[in-house]
Chains A and B, each alone.
Chain A
Amino acid sequence: MGVPDASGDLSSEMEVDAFRRLFPLRYFERHLSESVRPDARPLGRARDTTLALGAVASAHGSALAKIGSTTMLAAIKMEVMTPSTESPDEGCIAIDFHMPPICSPIVRPGRPAEAAPVISKQLSDTISSSGMINLKELSLVSGKAAWIAYLDIYCLDADGALFDAALLSAVAAFSHLQIPIVSLNDDGKIVVILEEDDGTKLEKEPVNREKRKLTLSSIPFSLTCILHKNYILADPTAEEESIMETLVTVGLDSSSRLVSFYKPGGPVLAYTSAVQDCVALTRQRVKELQEILDEAISGMEID
């Protein structure tokens, strides 16, 4: 069967689409041999990334991250809890990643997607091991009350590189987070003061004076790459992920230290040189993501 030419008229357009469906691997390899991908990106470039802070008005911190078509909405709600006896002056973070059926035709209602708990665990591990958040900042009254931050990330559109987008939205939500003001009421319980009470005089002394933000050190960013023969493709789409299955996710922090490295098997075995190339691509990407995050934060502050 002759490989059709990608010229302008309608009949060869239909053949190209059929070729893409029937022989996906050959379709991609034809592009890779010219060092380009079907959406005209060079092999090492990631898709356009946008970040919007404060997407959910009712949450204490939130962010919407889009990498290409992959869309993640992260929101943080803070609640008060009693800290554990082993760490009486530390708060807690609970991260949950959801893939509702709207995000992809493969996800069925009633049966959660396979990728969801995997990414959930990866996120918790990366965020806790990067040391981005100092849990002592989440403490209110040592031994009696501390904050628990519930971070919920919803995937609204799954088009590849889910972990990258999820991590970006989580990090952005934490940088947008404002801890609410609380005071101690008569029963010795901590009560959240609502904003509308600002006009009237507060009967109790607030435990913390004003809404404050968390100080984030060494923010982690990541990049997922696909290994296929000798090629390394950065930031795959869902189509690319389903055809070429070997994924490598590298997580670096803002000072380019390696935070996490994840290669869960896959048919392609990687030489050390491939690993180093992935890390180099990630280093570049981290700079881009850092800029995007800084722009989004300064955009919020102007408001």
Chain B
Amino acid sequence: MEFVNPEGLRLDGRRPMEMRQLRAEIGAVAKADGSAVFEMGNTKVIAAVYGPREVQNRSQQINDQALVRCEYSMANFSTGDRRRKPKGDRRSTEISLVIRQTMEACILTHLMPRSQIDIYVQVLQADGGTRSACINAATLALADAGIPMRDLVTSCSAGYLNSTPLLDLNYVEDSAGGPDVTVGILPKLDKVTLLQMDAKLPIDIFENVMQLAAEGCKAIANYIREVLLENTKQLEYRRGL
């Protein structure tokens, strides 16, 4: 099947290095300490952060840092066919672990000992790149909750089909069987916190694809910064500053 036609356009009309349309909104869940909705094309994800609050399970309390928990679940109607088991299946558990470890690396946990930070992510519409959308939404939600972090964490995926590196795969391109590289970076510090790949790739092509994904992450970071700045301006305006 042809994923990049001879004119250089992909199935949804994008260029190989073009990302899908981004849209983010802060403060969607009034009850949460911090929350955000993040959309990458048709993939729509809502994240809520509760914390720092008292540890619910005393035996898990850590005396010199905060405990970070994460749960990823997909709504029954998020994918094409209705899912019977939205959480507790292996994929959801794996992604929960990945998101937790990615965010834990950048939260300054030593500032909040004996407390717990809960990150809950719910996928409302899945069209490829849910892992990345979840990490981006979690970053925004943590910023909205005012939890101290080393830097933003942004994530993006890239692949390699028809001998072309492609940025930000959607579901059809993802299930094509080609390699799928997901990268999560701290943009200001320029450090990689998450890197996952499946399928085979020669090393030099892998470096290209990874570089492409990192560029995508930086673009997302710029967008997230704009959104946060706009949000702060709104807050200042409402406070009359």
Q: How far is the CB of A235 from chain B (nearest CB, A)?
A: 15
Contact check, B80 vs A105: say whether CB atoms are below 8 A apart. Answer: no
With A103-B31, A238-B31 as known contacts, state yes or no: A96 contacts B120, CB within 8 Å: no
Taking the complex as formed, is B168 at the interface, i.e. its CB lies under 8 A from any CB of chain A? Answer: no
**Complex CA–CA separation, A73 to B37 (angstroms):** 14
Contact check, A109 vs B31: say whether CB atoms are below 8 A apart. Answer: no
Contacting residue for A101 out of B28, B76, B120, CB 8 A: B120
Q: How far is the CB of A296 from chain B (nearest CB, A)?
A: 19
Taking the complex as formed, is A152 at the interface, i.e. its CB lies under 8 A from any CB of chain B? Answer: yes
Contacting residue for B35 out of A62, A98, A102, CB 8 A: A102
Contact check, B47 vs A159: say whether CB atoms are below 8 A apart. Answer: no
**Complex CA–CA separation, A189 to B42 (angstroms):** 31
Taking the complex as formed, is A108 at the interface, i.e. its CB lies under 8 A from any CB of chain B? Answer: yes
Taking the complex as formed, is B122 at the interface, i.e. its CB lies under 8 A from any CB of chain A? Answer: yes
Contact check, A58 vs B125: say whether CB atoms are below 8 A apart. Answer: yes
Contact check, B29 vs A105: say whether CB atoms are below 8 A apart. Answer: no
**Complex CA–CA separation, A150 to B78 (angstroms):** 13
Q: How far is the CB of A177 from chain B (nearest CB, A)?
A: 12
Interface-facing stretch out of B67-75, B105-113, B209-217 = B67-75
Contact check, B31 vs A73: say whether CB atoms are below 8 A apart. Answer: no
**Complex CA–CA separation, A101 to B116 (angstroms):** 15
With A105-B53, A154-B122 as known contacts, state yes or no: A96 contacts B29, CB within 8 Å: no
Q: How far is the CB of A184 from chain B (nearest CB, A)?
A: 20
Contacting residue for A102 out of B29, B42, B69, CB 8 A: B29
Instruction: Flag B17-39 by CB within 8 Å of A: 1 or 0 each.
Output: 00000000000111110010000
Can you pick out 10 interface pairs between chain A and chain B where the beta carbons lie within 8 Å of each other? Answer: A58-B42, A77-B77, A79-B82, A98-B76, A101-B71, A101-B118, A105-B31, A109-B69, A152-B82, A158-B31
B residues apposed to A, CB below 8 Å: 28-32, 35, 42, 46-48, 50, 53, 56, 69, 71, 73, 75-80, 82, 86, 118, 120-122, 124-125
